[in-house]
Amino acid sequence: MLTVTIKEDLHMTQDQVANSNIVALLATLLVRFIAGPLCDRFGPRLVFIGLLLCGSIPTAMAGLVTNPQGLIALRFFVGILGGTFVPCQVWCTGFFDKKIVGTANSLAAGLGNAGGGITYFVMPAIFDSLVRQQGLPTHKAWRVAYVVPFIIIVVLALGMLFTCEDTPTGKWADRHLWVEENSPSEGNIVDLSSGNPSSRASMTNIVGEIEKKGIETPTAVDHEAQMIGQLDALRSETVVALTLKDALKTALSLHTLALALPYACSFGAELSINSILGKYYADNFPHMGQTLSGRWAAMFGLLNVVFRPAGGFIADILYHYTDSIWAKKLFLSFLGIIMGVFQIVMGFSNPKTEAMMFGLTAGMAFFLEAANGANFAVVPHVYPHANGLVSGVVGGFGNLGGIIGAVIFRYNGHDYSRSLWIIGVLCIGTNLLVAWIRPVPRSQVAR
């Protein structure tokens, strides 16, 4: 609705529309960088809920906007909602084994990205209903429409608050109770049911909990020593709140940047393309109105339901057969490069037939969205003890890439095809640049 209804109502220029897109992405970038460390300290569930509730308030205030400056300010605060991606991925990672974490993370994130596509359908439909069936003038209808997402966001946040757990074993504050307080090598085990030390006979409790996490215990030979080793592995992956020095070292390491930069290309391209795709379709195919072009543009986001999980699933399959994180990493690089090729082809051809336009868009969507899923199949391996921080940095770079893409689109005006091939060149170059970097530090044992 921003490209037509809101733009006309608030008398916005094309540059002001582009600026509002950039500001929204900037807010999400800042929130994602902050949300990562907060997840490590307070747990992802509470951070998730807090961001939803904070972002719901400016969403409900859309009806108060009367000028372009007000809309730009509003979109900055609505951008808080984009930061929920980080606690979503951190929360998901805590519930799933490394062998399937790519599938789990990409499925959750794919549904999240699909929300962008659903919005293209739902918001214009609500707007049309308010105008045609309720008789509201357009300048009131688009403001009233924003009440619907406000209600949905608040209901979901309250549902998460009262029905969900922080971790598979309970509260976030107790996440390392049974792997830190008493080491089995010292003769005492924490009884998971009471939190009190018990005798070594309680090893069976630990065995049961480890088996629930999917860690195989194939034989009874030296069973206790095996459990000690597995507890050491779990202890090393228990999330901790880092000091500022360690946090900066982790955030700026090559291993973190090797995932952050490709994500800036894939998710960044998705964000920037999403913001102009409806207008791109409308310019190339003038017979499409706001609603029809919006519906076709929605398909780009809705494909995330299948394509992003496909990236995580294939990455997990490769890891299963190779037992190497390198397989995931090289798969990610491959997806990023082919994604750039599609963008270059689409940019230079500037399709004038609907079949070619939608076909190239779907092809680009597969590699782009699969790359997003494959990226967060690798993230949990890098620094497991600082998963929130790493997720926040990688997620934040995604929005940084979105801002760069939005700037490219802004300064190329309506020449969307030129912007596309420029972004494609950047994507290929960036993915080639970081493809050689090891997926995890040498000192870290890959699990």
Q: Span 275-294, mean pLDDT?
A: 81
Q: Span 426-432, mean pLDDT?
A: 96
Q: Span 367-388, mean pLDDT?
A: 93
Q: Give the residue among 80, 404, 416 at the shortest CA–CA distance from 266.
A: 404
pLDDT digits (tens, 9 = 90+) for 331-350: 999 999 999 999 999 999 99
pLDDT digits (tens, 9 = 90+) for 57-68: 999 898 888 898
Higher pLDDT, 238 or 316: 316
Name the residue with tokens 């995932």: 259
Residue 22: predicted pLDDT: 83
Residue 16 binned pLDDT confidence (cut-offs 50, 70, 90)? confident
Residue 74's Cβ-side half-sphere holds a number of Cα atoms within 13 Å equal to 19
Structural tokens at position 161: 């608050």
Residue 332: predicted pLDDT: 97
E strand or H helix that includes residue 364: helix 354-382
pLDDT for residue 289 is more than 80: no
pLDDT digits (tens, 9 = 90+) for 159-210: 999 999 998 888 888 776 645 554 444 444 333 333 344 444 444 454 455 5
Cβ atoms of 399 and 31 within 8 Å: the answer is no
Residue 173: predicted pLDDT: 81
pLDDT digits (tens, 9 = 90+) for 23-72: 888 889 999 999 999 998 899 999 999 999 999 999 989 888 889 899 89
Residue 411: predicted pLDDT: 87
Q: Give the residue among 57, 70, 54, 58 at the shortest CA–CA distance from 10.
A: 70
State the average pLDDT for the chain: 83
**Domain annotation for the chain: domains and CATH numbers:** 2-168+242-434 (1.20.1250.20), 176-236 (no CATH)
